[in-house]
A and B are shown apart, each in its own frame.
Chain A
Amino acid sequence: MSHVDLGLAIDNAVLVAVGYAVLYALGIVELRLGSLVFVGLAYLVGWACIGVLLTLALLAGIDPGIPTFLVIAGAIIVCSGLYRARRPGSTFTPREHAPRSRRASLLAALPAVLGATMLAIGSLAALSVAVKGQLYAGYLDSFDFWIPKAETIYYAHGIDPDVWATIRHPEYPPLVAVMDALTFRLVGGFHPSVLPFQATLLGIAFLMAVLALVDRFAPRWISLPSLALLATTPWFWARLQASLTDQMLAYLIAAAAIAGVIWLYERSEAFLVLAFVLLAAATLTKLEGGFMAGLLALVVASAGIVLYRHAAAWALVLLAAPAVALPWRLWLHHHGLPTTSPDYHATDLLNRGFLSERWGRLTGSFHALYEGLITAQLQTSVIIWISVAALLILALRLPVIAGAVAAWFVLSLLGLTIVYWIGRLTLSWYLTTSLSRVGTTVIIVGGTLTPLFLGLALRPRRAR
């Protein structure tokens, strides 16, 4: 085994261990073989926890290298074990198997097997391409600023504000750069070709995480075809290995949305904590992450209060998740770097003349949004239409939850459109570059919530 292989193995094994420890502390998994199905969720949660804490360590002036990584991981594992020992309660509920006839079982097995096969093909194909490492430089932004940011953290054993200022978009938060720099440390050098493999693992972990999260609510003949379609949709599959943060942001927001909906449905605090961790990581992943995470926290907390009144008041803690960006903003401000994107100014929204002058950009953005979501590609439009149908079905059963999710979709898309409206860059750049990347978060959230919505709608009504 080479140094690189060993480094990657340690990195990924520790992330899984940390994730399992957190899930164990939350009572979402038990120490038994059946919990292996949560390996994807464990990886995603481990990545999010380590990412947030290493980023905060970096901002505190601590080298986010191997010793810090191992100390943080060890602390999380020990604290999780101690916490669970004191509070042995569990929210783990095995899958419910509705009694079915033999014929119905066979019929249900067909889409499940087909979906699982497609998902396996998509995942194996992505890994097969990723191990060659050739796609790390597939996007200009990767070698323009994402990888150089990781590289400077790796070489400087921290964050050198003078070098950081010379890299484009210094205002973007550094979580992914910190995690990539950690990978370089573990593999023993600046080897950008290992990044596609790590990115692909995270993507596959996300798909497995969604399956694990919705498994208690949706039968696999519903969830597996949905995930198979998402996984093999060309833009999703191609970006599994990209060293861009947009898809990682989408994973975190989508998993947080699922955790948020589960909390709204069954009010198990474990899922609120899970949503908090994922939203905090999303906030530190990209500038847009703060907006989308804040919006999600707001709609979930609001729906919780509508549904459960005072009993859900502490869901407002979710709103603190995006506040994890504050140390980052303070660090930027302290070093005289821009804290917001220079591409647009929110104050322009108050300038009526400026807005009316650019009315064409707003209508153009809406038109592009419609085209991008509905007409551009068969797979994307299938994901969108089925998500919308599932949301409408859910609205008949659980209107508050459906309303909250719908509000998040509408406000997220509206937020993007407003940025394109007031943005200083050309509209065509926004539509060809930004929309096709940031906009995918909305599609991924929709695609992964679909099986949960259908599963919840199919569940027997319960007294509330």
Chain B
Amino acid sequence: MVSRLRSTRTVCWLVILASVTPFTAPALAQDSLPPAPYAYQQLEDPALEAKATDLMHTLRCLKCQSQSIADSDAPMAGDMRHQVRTRIAAGEEPEEVRQWLVDRYGDYVSYQPRVTASTWPLFAIPVLVVLLAGFILRGRLGRKKGDAE
């Protein structure tokens, strides 16, 4: 009898908890609107969805600045995913969508490195280092050969 009373009480608490939780959750959320239609829903065409997902992994979430929009649950990242998916579904190429965002936020929004006036040393230095190493190696090996002869 006692145990049944206790279990009834537990059920009561669970019911209260369950009825209160849905009301407290939105208060904690950033905003009150549901996510954009294509924030969490995949495109019907698997090929287009694959294109969109690949692109989303290389776009930076503007709110949570070290995540891609594919990894972020921020509402704004959801809205950006919606933009990417609807634009891809409308026939745009991934690079066009990337360019659309870069036109608005600069290179910052893209994780794909590009050769620009400020980034070219990043691409040039490794090439120079390899050339220099080749040059030194050739000098040393050439000399050794010369010594042997």
Specify whether A and B are partners.
no
Using a CB–CB distance below 8 Å, which chain B residues touch chain A?
none
Using a CB–CB distance below 8 Å, which chain A residues touch chain B?
none
